[in-house]
Structure 1
């Protein structure tokens, strides 16, 4: 049954990647938090696992052993870019956009085309493959590049908008800032035009089958990065973008926002409210007896900082003061007591506030 098949290192490496992608996809599909986003990511991971499947079985000799596998509808490349964008939208808004499924029409057409070709008799498959490969490769390659350009730009704008909104409303915005999405998007933006270039070049210039191994290893690597980061953040209750919108404050003629900002800043400092890890703009406004829009304007226009920067400066200052008063405590203990939720966010905020790493600052104090 397995005569003529060769299970070498290429098949093994890609197979391990595909199995991991499918395992994470199965786990994400059962997640009850961020359901729309996690299920979208699960579908995307299945699509990416399917993308490398022809090379898994091809390197093993499946197509030589069973030539009827020609046109098997594994590579639905036109689904990748819209699914990535739909995942980003669902992550920050809680749901797909209205008529979001329409963005998958090109992928559906690609699936129908490949499925139709797959059902042809073997001789007809080969004849059609010889006649259609060039046009199919050019069309899908061009659509792939256009899709990643368009959906990449929309994803970038969405992530930037969400990151800015987080900084204005949440003190520990780093927990929710989807930097991993931006990194995956950058990797994909580099990868997929190269991928399309490989496909189109192969239609005009003979390219060794094994020469594609580096490309598909890269595809598997990008997919695994997205899968692991998506799983790490799967249960994190992301604030919804709509909830982060701040209405414009009512016009207050003659109001000095700088003075107001300084007054409220001192009240926040004296109240020690920054020590609350999950502190938000709305909570702080309620404590001050005002509303979110006025507090946001006092910080942005009056003090020139967003909410996150302001709160994390207060926390960094609290740690700096505690270093002298509590020399026996570790930096992490002091950071957590001040309201930081992670060492990374503490190091970043402290360095921005004092121009030195926390350990270097403590060393100065002790010396």
Structure 2
């Protein structure tokens, strides 16, 4: 006799809400690829609850041929959650191998569903439970763990990308809230498996709490996605890495050709302004090519003094140093020794 009691009604209500949220997400005009993956994920979670809705309501007793109907495809949870994250951060490639295990699970259930009812029961007792269920459970746990880790890495990379461009990290935080769902399901599934291994076998009714949790987490995920379905999320745009060393060489050549380096008050922001760039880019380029802004200036000034010495100027070394832009005798001696391996006086003597 079919009868919707408290358990079957609660699960049915939770599943129905996920289906409605999936429809709303799938119809959202913005972030279409991401929202389609979210809708598919919600439908998979709702379909996982369907066998228990039917079972607690008595459908399998009334219609035994429904046994092994291909409703539940839990191996699709991890890939869909991962692809949802990738779509939101702007990733475009979705290799087909992500769907290999879910497709295999679905085909297995479709074939088993065609068996006569008595054959299904025999198969479940003699083949599925002892031989297929253990590796299938291990595959589910490994899949969810791997895709949760992959999603978290994508999220961290996205957050770093936003911070580097001084953008709001709110899109990354919204994605982080969604990952709580996948991590929660992984922990719950692992907990049930450990309980069954170390305490006692889990029966059909023990799983009620797990599927209530699926419903709650699914609604949380759906509401979080629905609230932000039309919110634009800046997509990562991978551009070729700039050759900072080459850029540093170009700017250093421009600096060498000018007399700016003779100004003892010259600082990094001032030089960046003269070169038409910003201090961060100039600092990065000079670090890559010349060991930094201060090292570049010291080298140019030391070379200027060495050139004066080589031309035969008789002025004292401190005068030459101050003309080149050095602020003190100590900094001059230090920079000259770094550049030429000897003191200025020894260099003059050798010339």
Scaled by the length of structure 2, what TM-score is found? 0.68
Q: Gapped runs of 5+ residues in structure 1?
A: 268-287, 303-367
Contact 1:85 / 1:154 at 8 angstroms: preserved in 2? yes
Alpha-carbon shift at residue 182 of structure 1 (Å):
3.5
Q: Gapped runs of 5+ residues in structure 2?
A: 256-266, 293-351
Q: Give the corresponding residue for 1:136.
A: 132
**For 2:132, what is the secondary structure of its paired residue?**
helix
Contact 1:246 / 1:292 at 8 angstroms: preserved in 2? no
- In the TM superposition, what whole-angstrom CA distance separates every residue of 1:234-284 from its partner, at most 9, and x where no partner exists? 1122111125887464553789xxx646999xx9xxxxxxxxxxxxxxxxx
Matched, 1:174 2:174: no
Aligned 1:237-276 pairs, distance under 5 A: 237-242=232-237, 247=242, 249=244, 251-252=247-248, 260=268
Contact 2:268 / 2:283 at 8 angstroms: preserved in 1? no
Contact 1:248 / 1:293 at 8 angstroms: preserved in 2? no
After superposition, the CA RMSD in angstroms is 3.3
The structure 1 residue matched to 2:104, chosen from 102, 109, 115, is 109
Alpha-carbon shift at residue 185 of structure 1 (Å):
3.7
Q: Give the corresponding residue for 1:236.
A: 231
Within 1, Cα distance between the matches of 2:153 and 2:62? 47
The structure-2 alpha-carbon separation of the partners of 1:209 and 1:239, relative to structure 1 and needing over 3 Å to count, comes to same
**For 2:207, what is the secondary structure of its paired residue?**
helix
Within 2, Cα distance between the matches of 1:171 and 1:295? 22
**For 1:242, what is the secondary structure of its paired residue?**
coil
The structure-2 alpha-carbon separation of the partners of 1:38 and 1:196, relative to structure 1 and needing over 3 Å to count, comes to farther
Q: Give the corresponding residue for 2:154.
A: 158
Within 1, Cα distance between the matches of 2:159 and 2:182? 15
Within 1, Cα distance between the matches of 2:194 and 2:47? 20
Aligned 1:187-202 pairs, distance under 5 A: 187-197=184-194, 201=197
The structure-2 alpha-carbon separation of the partners of 1:296 and 1:175, relative to structure 1 and needing over 3 Å to count, comes to farther
Contact 2:38 / 2:84 at 8 angstroms: preserved in 1? yes
The structure-2 alpha-carbon separation of the partners of 1:261 and 1:32, relative to structure 1 and needing over 3 Å to count, comes to farther
Aligned residues: 270
Within 2, Cα distance between the matches of 1:263 and 1:159? 37
